[in-house]
């Protein structure tokens, strides 16, 4: 299907009723100034305030404002994934709804995709208005992600302000809490033209942050998950099989040594404890069992990889401005 607009702006949100009118008005001014054809897709991730009513009012004023409403809170990854699925723009731009991302960055982000040929342009909030309890762990995670992913030219993987070539968002899946690592997912999907742009970080104007300290723990676990999945999801036996082989043969060799030593001592009439009375025998037994279990895990993983099920689950309550 041919894309019908220049830019799709995807905005996941939860409880942002105060900021939405100002944000949409700002986006409209930028688009009209630069004569872009556009759409704005707002995903209400289970808001408890009047965010959805505000989206309905904005849609009535401007039909290019479209909305998707979840039945409950499913998380930012699910919101982005369903938003990506609905986009019609040649370039997709994501931003947060709290006014900390500036729509004035849109023209440059668009040009870096269209004119410079990048697949992804990630925002870098070099100067941040966040406490040290947030900035220091963020720097640590960004460093770890650079080392594990090999994407060494990004300073801020988790910046909500990004631009994508349409083909990128149509060929990746964002699930669980993997929105932090979209550049990594895209790279392993074959989109390697990734760069960053320094963007403005504004102080929060309304409400409070929706993320707590637990996101750093979850972020680290998600980084390990995405590293493992990207490396071994297609061939889990390459991971489990190697470990299983090492464990099994180590246990087998220890067992053979113990038995060989027992036979030699018996031939030389040297008194020795029974094989089963030696601690090394139980160590070898454990290694043999673990080796077999790892092999089984590898086989099961191979079977699952051939019948992978849908990983994104979300219940959409309403859609606004989309064709049936």
pLDDT at 1 over 50: no
In which order are the strands placed within the sheet that holds 316-320?
194-198, 120-124, 162-165, 89-94, 5-13, 38-44, 65-70, 316-320
Rounded Cα gap, residues 296 and 150, in angstroms: 31
pLDDT value at residue 312: 60
pLDDT at 204 over 90: no
pLDDT at 35 over 80: yes
**318: β partners:** 69
CATH class for the domain made up of 5-232: alpha beta
The pTM for the full model equals: 0.73
What are the residue boundaries of the structural domains of the chain, listed by start? 5-232, 237-305
pLDDT value at residue 305: 58
Task: Please write the tens of the pLDDT for every residue from 91-128.
Answer: 999 999 988 899 999 999 999 999 999 999 999 887 76
pLDDT value at residue 41: 97
Q: Work out the average pLDDT over 211-221.
A: 62
pLDDT value at residue 57: 95
pLDDT value at residue 22: 94
Rounded Cα gap, residues 297 and 119, in angstroms: 36
8 A C-beta contact, residue 141 and residue 216: yes
The more confidently predicted of residues 269 and 214 is 269
pLDDT value at residue 214: 59
pLDDT value at residue 321: 79
When the pLDDT of each residue in the chain is averaged and rounded to a whole number, the result is 84
Q: Work out the average pLDDT over 251-266.
A: 86
Q: Work out the average pLDDT over 305-321.
A: 65
The more confidently predicted of residues 195 and 238 is 195
Buried/exposed 187-217: b ≥16 CB within 10 Å, e otherwise = bbeebeebbbbebebeeeeebeebeeeebbe
Task: Please write the tens of the pLDDT for every residue from 124-165.
Answer: 887 766 656 566 777 777 888 888 788 888 988 888 899 999
Q: Work out the average pLDDT over 255-274.
A: 80
- CB-based contacts of 105, cutoff 8 Å, min separation 6: 123, 161, 197, 199, 200
């Amino acid at each position: 299907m041919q894309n019908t607009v220049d830019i799709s702006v995807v905005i996941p949100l939860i409880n942002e009723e105060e900021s939405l009118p100002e944000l949409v008005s700002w986006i409209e001014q930028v688009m009209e100034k630069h004569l872009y054809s556009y759409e704005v897709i707002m995903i209400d991730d289970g808001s408890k305030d009047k965010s959805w009513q505000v989206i309905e009012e904005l849609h009535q004023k401007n039909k290019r404002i479209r909305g998707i409403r979840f039945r409950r809170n499913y998380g930012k990854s699910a919101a982005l994934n369903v938003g990506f699925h609905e986009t019609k723009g040649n370039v997709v731009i994501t931003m947060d709804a709290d006014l900390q991302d500036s729509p004035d960055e849109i023209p440059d982000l668009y040009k870096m995709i269209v004119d410079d040929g990048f697949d992804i342009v990630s925002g870098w909030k070099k100067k941040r208005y966040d406490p040290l309890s947030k900035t220091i762990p963020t720097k640590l995670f960004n460093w770890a992600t650079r080392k594990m992913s090999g994407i060494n030219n990004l300073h801020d993987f988790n910046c909500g302000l990004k631009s994508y070539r349409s083909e990128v968002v149509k060929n990746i899946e964002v699930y669980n809490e993997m929105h932090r690592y979209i550049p990594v997912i895209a790279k392993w999907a074959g989109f390697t033209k990734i760069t960053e742009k320094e963007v403005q970080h504004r102080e929060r104007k309304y409400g409070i942050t929706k993320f707590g300290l637990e996101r750093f723990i979850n972020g680290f676990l998600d980084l390990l998950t995405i590293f493992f999945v990207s490396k071994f999801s297609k061939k889990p036996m390459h991971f489990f099989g190697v470990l299983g082989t090492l464990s099994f043969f180590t246990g087998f060799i220890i067992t053979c040594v113990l038995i060989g030593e027992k036979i030699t001592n018996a031939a030389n009439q040297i008194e020795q404890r029974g094989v089963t009375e030696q601690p090394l025998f139980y160590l070898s037994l454990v290694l043999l069992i673990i080796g077999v279990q790892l092999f089984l895990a590898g086989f099961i993983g191979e079977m699952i990889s051939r019948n992978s099920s849908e990983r994104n689950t979300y219940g959409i309550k309403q859609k606004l401005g989309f064709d049936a």
